[in-house]
Chains A and B, each alone.
Chain A
Amino acid sequence: MNIYPEFEVLRNDSRCIRCRVCERQCANEVHWFDADGKLMLSDESKCVNCQRCVTLCPTRALKIVKSDCRLRENANYTDQTIKEIYRQAETGGVLLSSMGNPNPLPVYWDKILINASQVTNPPIDPLREPMETRVFLGKKPEHIRRNADGSLDTKLAPQLTLSMPVMFSAMSYGSISYNAHASLARAATALGIYYNTGEGGLHEDFYQYGKNTIVQVASGRFGVHKDYLEAGAAIEIKMGQGAKPGIGGHLPGTKAVGDVSKTRMIPEGSDAISPAPHHDIYSIEDLRQLVYSLKEATEYRLPVIVKVAAVHNIAAIASGIARSGADIIAIDGFRGGTGAAPTRIRDNVGIPIELALAAVDKRLRDEGIRNNVSIVCGGSIRSAADVVKAIALGADACYIATAACLAMGCHLCRSCHTGKCNWGIATQRPDLVKRLNPDIGSERLINLMNAWRHEIKELMGGMGINSIEALRGNRLMLRGVGLTEKELEILGISHAGE
């Protein structure tokens, strides 16, 4: 059954100069030139609304709009719901989507407001007073230890040093392009933060950025070997991902080409399947075994991160991880992005990061083990304000990926799974990859982070806080608006006006 296209391509013919840029730029082959009629035509059924043609059209002759040709309105069976049924009836397939959950579920960040100082405890102006945004991730000592001669024992567990509490979270080489990885790696190095390989191995060209790289070990163990483990500044064990908790990953064979297959160490064209579970992990004790096998293999020089999706029992799970020997817990909320995930999983599984983070921080403090681990949270951190709220709820740092992709040019068309990203990010097609210039990509990432760092300082200064450490877990700086008693209780904050 033919499903009516979702978008319309509106071309202002009086502006169109037939330069055919739109045609050359569209990997979905929406536009073409009709030589007989000397005019540009388009097939909107192929359009994903990535805005590439709109952005590059020199005369602004193009506009992509949502089609108003809809099925009869129904608040229960929405247009989207019905069309999904049509697609499945046609193919028998599992619905596959990309990027984070787009549905109108509560965004708690937007219902949390930040405090500022007035009259007493005056605000601090970051332009004239030093503000500390540096954070250290890793186990912190419980007690002061002294050597035999009375001097302080300053030997610490391995730590990551971040110039600001934000890192680029895991996106594998394969799910994103070489140039996207190059942009992230260079930006992380210039900024003094970290990017994350995801489960795709580390391209040999990027070993030079190892000091600012987190290498990931997931269930498929792609590209994992001694040199890889030692190349990075930390090792992340991926147990789960916010966009698809409880299921694995799957890089289609069409993307496992050239250097991607080499970096993953799998044959060209072979599907790269990361199974849902780690087959050797059925308990916290088993997780401990993987943590320590990695520590042994790297001689205890690197912190080990355990990344989990935010799910119902996240507080208890985090408590287990904090006792597993891991140095850092990364929690990924249900809005986290993905290069491909079954729609039903992405849109229905997991919980919001705000609630998960608050619950985990409280649980670890209640159990007296909060200093065993640092907490990193991700899953739709969209702005400096989200970062500040996350830190005040108890995070040590945040992971961003969707925001980083946007900085590199992503227009959030949610079509990564097609492999035809017109912005050169989620694709392996050489002609598309080269559209992302790593010089520009890294510069835009650096700009974004520098802007956020200024905003973080301003927000902190307004609260009269001059160090990010003094903000962490400082929930008195937060108030809720329009939240229920239960939501406030879980978030551990008061309502505005209280």
Chain B
Amino acid sequence: MELNAANLGFQELNECLRETDDRQITLSGCIGQRFIAAGMSGKEIGIHGIPGNALGAYLNGSVIETFGNAQDAVGDTMNDGEIIVHGNIGDAAGYAMRGGKIFVKGNAGYRAGIHMKAYQDKVPVMVIGGRTGSFLGEYQAGGIIIVLGLSGGEKPIVSNFPCTGMHGGKLFLRSDCAGIHFPHQVHHHPASAGELEEIRGYVAEFCAHFGGDPDEILHAEFTLVTPDSGNPYKQMYVAN
């Protein structure tokens, strides 16, 4: 189905998406409608124009491809599926994401991957092609965040205060991270060749979406960040 979103509010737009039996839907003229495909399963949605906040919130198995930038809270509390953004994304992408994948060609704003989780085989993945703002992976509790720094100029790969409160999951940064200050409750070290193998498949998927050579991208220094304890606040309390 092809749908011109230009004159639709977010409610009407989502109603159209829910009501159609078509699996593949192309939206054109998107002008900032929020909550596109919230909670939806089994759809493949291509978006031309700019989707609004909370794109694919609670997404439950659909694929969303945006041929441009996206706004804040992409994939908020997403459970399954894939969101592909051929541009930059705003703040709090993948907030509390617990499954599925987000691929971003460009940069991410503040708080990307905040409070991402994982449970057994359900491991969410976010790959950001460019650079990220402050508080990357804040409170991260699981999942894998990969930042490639392929675009975004001379800025550091991540801005201030990455991994604050991180207590699970992994973060791969394609940089030596010199000059980046990590909090005391995380470990960071240059990723070994073996450790990078874990993300080879995700980088290959990224390249399939946006172009590029996985080997070339992986042939660089990566920093791997992991928490040193799943119980960062254990020692803070005394029973009263």
Binding site for B on A (CB under 8 A): 84, 87-88, 90-91, 93-97, 219-222, 224-226, 229, 250, 252-253, 261-262, 265-267, 269-273, 275, 279-280, 289, 292-293, 296-299, 342-343, 415, 417-418
Say whether, besides A91-B238, A280-B76, A292-B34, A226 and B60 are in contact (CB < 8 Å).
yes
- CB of A250 to closest CB in B, whole Å: 6
Say whether, besides A226-B58, A279-B111, A296-B39, A343 and B240 are in contact (CB < 8 Å).
yes
Determine the chain A residues whose CB is within 8 A of the CB of B111 once the complex forms.
279
* 1/0 contact string of B215-240 vs chain A (CB within 8 Å): 00000000000000011111111111
- CB of B230 to closest CB in A, whole Å: 4
Determine the chain A residues whose CB is within 8 A of the CB of B122 once the complex forms.
265
**Residue of A whose beta carbon sits closest to that of B135:** A279
Give the interface segment out of B92-100, B145-153, B186-194: B92-100
B115 lies within 8 A of A275 (CB): yes
Determine the chain B residues whose CB is within 8 A of the CB of A221 once the complex forms.
77, 95-96, 98, 115, 117
Measured between alpha carbons, how far is A280 from B138 in the docked complex, in Å? 13
Measured between alpha carbons, how far is A270 from B140 in the docked complex, in Å? 12
Measured between alpha carbons, how far is A253 from B167 in the docked complex, in Å? 11
Determine the chain A residues whose CB is within 8 A of the CB of B72 once the complex forms.
280
B141 lies within 8 A of A266 (CB): yes
Measured between alpha carbons, how far is A91 from B238 in the docked complex, in Å? 7
A-facing residues in B168-191 (Cβ within 8 Å):
168
Determine the chain A residues whose CB is within 8 A of the CB of B11 once the complex forms.
296
Say whether, besides A229-B58, A270-B167, A253 and B231 are in contact (CB < 8 Å).
yes
Determine the chain A residues whose CB is within 8 A of the CB of B168 once the complex forms.
266-267, 270
B238 lies within 8 A of A267 (CB): no
30 A-B pairs, CB-CB below 8 angstroms?
A90-B238, A95-B237, A219-B115, A221-B117, A224-B58, A225-B58, A226-B60, A226-B79, A252-B234, A265-B118, A267-B119, A267-B168, A269-B230, A269-B231, A271-B233, A273-B141, A275-B115, A275-B165, A279-B95, A279-B115, A280-B76, A289-B34, A289-B53, A289-B54, A293-B54, A293-B57, A296-B11, A296-B35, A296-B57, A297-B35
Determine the chain B residues whose CB is within 8 A of the CB of A418 once the complex forms.
239
B18 at the interface (CB under 8 A from A): yes
Determine the chain B residues whose CB is within 8 A of the CB of A253 once the complex forms.
230-231, 234
B58 lies within 8 A of A297 (CB): yes
B238 lies within 8 A of A95 (CB): yes
Say whether, besides A225-B60, A265-B122, A280-B95, A95 and B139 are in contact (CB < 8 Å).
no
A-facing residues in B82-138 (Cβ within 8 Å):
91-92, 95-96, 98, 111, 114-115, 117-119, 122, 138
Contact of B119 among A84, A261, A293, A342 (CB under 8 A): A261
Say whether, besides A93-B237, A94-B237, A275-B165, A229 and B34 are in contact (CB < 8 Å).
no
Say whether, besides A93-B237, A253-B230, A293-B34, A273 and B139 are in contact (CB < 8 Å).
yes
Binding site for A on B (CB under 8 A): 10-11, 14, 18, 34-35, 38-39, 41, 53-54, 57-58, 60, 72-73, 76-77, 79, 91-92, 95-96, 98, 111, 114-115, 117-119, 122, 138-139, 141-142, 165, 167-168, 230-240
Measured between alpha carbons, how far is A270 from B230 in the docked complex, in Å? 5
Extra A-B contacts (10), CB below 8 Å, given A94-B236, A221-B96: A94-B237, A96-B238, A252-B231, A270-B167, A270-B168, A273-B165, A275-B165, A280-B91, A293-B58, A299-B18
Determine the chain A residues whose CB is within 8 A of the CB of B34 once the complex forms.
289, 292-293
Determine the chain B residues whose CB is within 8 A of the CB of A93 once the complex forms.
235-238
Determine the chain B residues whose CB is within 8 A of the CB of A415 once the complex forms.
239
Contact of B35 among A250, A262, A266, A293 (CB under 8 A): A293
Determine the chain A residues whose CB is within 8 A of the CB of B117 once the complex forms.
221-222, 265-266
Determine the chain B residues whose CB is within 8 A of the CB of A252 once the complex forms.
231, 234
**Residue of B whose beta carbon sits closest to that of A83:** B240
Contact of B230 among A224, A250, A267 (CB under 8 A): A267
Contact of B77 among A87, A224, A417 (CB under 8 A): A224
Measured between alpha carbons, how far is A439 from B219 in the docked complex, in Å? 62
Among B76, B91, B165, max chain A CB count under 10 A is at B76
**Residue of B whose beta carbon sits closest to that of A292:** B35
- CB of A278 to closest CB in B, whole Å: 9
Say whether, besides A270-B167, A297-B58, A220 and B96 are in contact (CB < 8 Å).
yes
Measured between alpha carbons, how far is A88 from B236 in the docked complex, in Å? 11
B76 lies within 8 A of A293 (CB): yes
Determine the chain A residues whose CB is within 8 A of the CB of B60 once the complex forms.
225-226
- CB of B3 to closest CB in A, whole Å: 16
A298 lies within 8 A of B165 (CB): no
Among A87, A250, A269, A418, max chain B CB count under 10 A is at A250
Determine the chain B residues whose CB is within 8 A of the CB of A88 once the complex forms.
238
Measured between alpha carbons, how far is A312 from B130 in the docked complex, in Å? 43
Measured between alpha carbons, how far is A479 from B16 in the docked complex, in Å? 55
A87 lies within 8 A of B76 (CB): no
Determine the chain A residues whose CB is within 8 A of the CB of B230 once the complex forms.
253, 267, 269-271
A266 lies within 8 A of B119 (CB): yes
Measured between alpha carbons, how far is A265 from B78 in the docked complex, in Å? 13
- CB of B121 to closest CB in A, whole Å: 12
A296 lies within 8 A of B38 (CB): yes
A296 lies within 8 A of B14 (CB): yes
A87 lies within 8 A of B238 (CB): yes
Contact of B240 among A87, A226, A229 (CB under 8 A): A87
Determine the chain A residues whose CB is within 8 A of the CB of B165 once the complex forms.
273, 275
Measured between alpha carbons, how far is A222 from B138 in the docked complex, in Å? 16
- CB of B21 to closest CB in A, whole Å: 17
Measured between alpha carbons, how far is A272 from B231 in the docked complex, in Å? 9
- CB of A363 to closest CB in B, whole Å: 28
